[in-house]
Structure 1
Amino acid sequence: MKKVKITILKTTLQEDLAKEYGVDGLTTCPLMKEGEVYYADYARPEGFCDEAWKAIYQYVFALAHGASEIWYYSDWIKTPGVAIVSCNDGLRPVIMKLEATEIEALPEE
C-alpha cells in the first residue's frame, strides 16, 4: 500500500446558500487552509477534518491500493492516479486534490 498526497486546493463559501441557511457570520471552513498538504493511507491524517475524511476516504483507499484507471466512465479526471474531491459541507465545501504516490505506507508501531 502507498501513501496518498492530499492537497487543499480551495476553501469555498456558497454565499447565496449561506445567507439563506447558514448562521450569521459563517465563513469558509476554519479547519482547513488552502495549500495544506496531508499524507494518508488507511487512516485519517492527524489534524484532518473528520467529516472531510468521511467524504474522501474511499478515493484515498483506492489510490493507496493502486487504482490507476481513469475514474468512472473516463468523463471526470483526465490524469490517472489523481482525484479532485470535496468535503460534504454544502455551505462551505473544501476542494482537495488526491494523488497516488510511491511512498510506502508503513504499519504503525
Structure 2
Amino acid sequence: MNQVKITVLKTTLDQELAAQYGASGLTACPMMEAGQVFYADYAKPEGFCDEAWKAIYQYVFALAHGAGKDVFYFGDWIRQPGVAICSCNDGLRPVIFKLEATDLPAKLSYDPIPRKA
C-alpha cells in the first residue's frame, strides 16, 4: 500500500443555491484552502475535514492499493492513470480535490501483526 497525495484544487460557493438555502453570511469552506496538500493511505490525514474524508476515502483507498495503474472506470471520467478528481459532499460550497497515486510507502501507525517480546 502506498500513500496518496491529496491537493485542494479549489473551494467554491454556489451563489444561487447559497442565496436560496444557505445561512446568512455563508462563505466558501473555512477549513480548506486551494493549494493545501495532504498525504493519506488508510486513515484520514491530520487536519483534514471529516465530511470531505467520508466523500473521498474510497478513491484514496483504491489509489493506495494500486488502482492508479489504470484509469478509473472505463476511461470515461479521468484520462490520466493514477488520478481522481473528487469533491466533498457540501452541496452549497463543495471543495474540489485532486488525488494522485504515489510510490511513497504507507506509514502504518500501528503494528498489525502481534509480535512476541
User: Per the shorter chain, which TM-score range?
Assistant: over 0.9
The normalised TM-score by structure 2 is 0.91
Alpha-carbon deviations, 1:39-96, whole Å to 9, x = none?
0000000000000000000000000000022111211100000000000000000000
In the alignment, the residues of structure 1 paired with residue 65 and residue 73 of structure 2 have an alpha-carbon distance, to the nearest angstrom, of 17
Map 1:1-109; keep pairs closer than 5 Å: 1-67=1-67, 68-109=69-110
In the alignment, the residues of structure 2 paired with residue 21 and residue 93 of structure 1 have an alpha-carbon distance, to the nearest angstrom, of 15
After the TM superposition, which segments of 4 or more aligned residues of structure 1 sit over 3 Å from their partners?
none
| Consecutive unaligned residues in structure 2, runs of 5 or more | 111-117
The normalised TM-score by structure 1 is 0.98
Q: What is the root-mean-square deviation of aligned Cα atoms in Å?
A: 0.7
Number of aligned residue pairs: give it: 109
